Amino acid sequence: MRRGKPVTIGSAIRSYQPEIVKHIQALIRIRSVASESLPGWPFGEGIAQALHYMLDLGASMGFRTANVDGYAGHVEYGDGEELVAVLVHLDTVPEGTGWTYDPFGAEIHNGRIYGRGASDDKGPAVVALYALKAIKDLGINPKKRIRIIFGTNEENGMTDMDYYFAREPFPDYAFTPDAAYPIIHAEKGYYVFRMKRQHTVAERDRRILEMAGGVAPNVVPEHCRTIIAVTDAEPEELERIVLLAEENPQIDAILTKEGRVEITAVGKSGHGSYPPSGINAISHMAAFLHMIGGIVPEDEFWRFIRTAIGFEAFGESLGLACNDPVHGRLTVNLAQVRLDEKTAEAILNVRYPVTTDGETVLAKLRQKAAGYGVEVEVTAFMAPLFVPPDHTLIRKLGRAYEAIMGEKAELLSIGGGTYARKLQNRGVAFGAGFRGTDTKAHQPDEFVGIEDMMLHGEICTQAIYELIRTEEER
């Protein structure tokens, strides 16, 4: 990555670095994970606090602000019919475990700010607001309106944007700094499936009483816990479970006083858009339960999980595997599982290339699941995104990137889902990450590099400037 010549517009944001760092830290310290809905707080108190924080900050800068019933909000600058927007989100996935630093401490070490949401998407949210401030403080009076739109439900279905755009106009041009550079002009199709099977309590004392694993569809599960009743088991069989667990670095098993065995599988969280980025605890639980199958017989639902999914991340045994040379492979994240004595269900997050038909994916999955008596319910769907390379938006963002970075803006395709999908092909993901840097989004020790964030700020500021200029002003 190399820098081009300093650009007056983009580099203007550099003077705000101390303030940007301070407000990123303050925003990280607000735990904005989805929680119980309350009046005016559709996604919980923490998310509402984060939204109020950013709107108050925008108001203090002299911008017009609006809070759309707690679902989203925006700050606005400029006048005119055309609307340019930068979309960011203030909600985060749960913090999980395994952190070296306090996930809400916003500690700075070696030029990095650590905390949940640091890179996804709180750092870019603060930078976007300061990019607009830089434009304003330079005395630029655009003939278009510019909005920084703050979303609150990006990590759990993006229903916030459905609500917001039902009441507010769609931008003419927009980008969301919630992915990577250079320009993401294609995003895979996105499904969340609930796989469900009803069952009755077996006529035996050796059975799974309950199981729970995973935190969200877009996170590789790092924990899975199972409680098994083994009241009539021989002592040697119980010892065998514990010994097998001791030989497996991903499994821990203990005997309880109630004549039960509690088994915990430990993996490593990762982003659901690329399941190999983590270690799937549910898959390890499935393998271990199969190993002790002589003690706890395997039912059809769990056999489906083990044999049709297992450790596979690309849908081979499900019959879904496909690959596009430009837009990548279909991926499957076995994200969550919940079992009790009446119901067994699992959550799958499937992402497929833009050249694949989503209905075909659904039909194949239902056919495969039916062989095990498992029902498939679609709980979330987002169609693929594709903005053509010759689109005006692509050209303007390309100019901004090239002006700051001194290199051509390559077009990319990703498996992640961003707010760009909600923009009716008027927006793309643009930044904020740089190739070669893994900020550990959705993982322990998520961070944002201060210098990387300021470099992103230059590009973001320049991009806003390019989008508000007319061709005559060039």
CB 452 within 8 A of CB 404: no
Separation CA 250–CA 266 (nearest Å)? 5
Separation CA 85–CA 87 (nearest Å)? 6
Q: Which contacts (CB < 8 Å, 24+ apart) does range 355-360 have?
A: 355/324, 355/327, 356/189, 356/322, 356/324, 356/330, 358/189, 358/191, 358/383, 358/384
Separation CA 289–CA 339 (nearest Å)? 14
Separation CA 359–CA 220 (nearest Å)? 25
154 given a catalytic annotation: yes
Nearest to 245 by CA among 193, 284, 210: 284
Separation CA 273–CA 442 (nearest Å)? 11
- From the list 91, 95, 312, 466, the catalytic residue is 91
69 given a catalytic annotation: no
SS3 assignment for 170-197: CCCEEEECCEECCEEEEECEEEEEEEEE
Separation CA 418–CA 302 (nearest Å)? 32
- From the list 120, 121, 154, 345, the catalytic residue is 154
Q: What are the angstrom distances between the C-alpha of 82 and each of 85, 315, 344, 470?
A: 10, 44, 51, 11
Nearest to 202 by CA among 302, 336, 345, 309: 302
Q: What are the angstrom distances between the C-alpha of 179 and each of 12, 120, 161, 292, 434?
A: 23, 8, 18, 42, 9
Structure-token match 């938006």, residue found: 393
Radius of gyration of the chain (CA): 24
Question: Would you please indicate which residues are annotated as catalytic (active-site) residues?
Answer: 91, 154
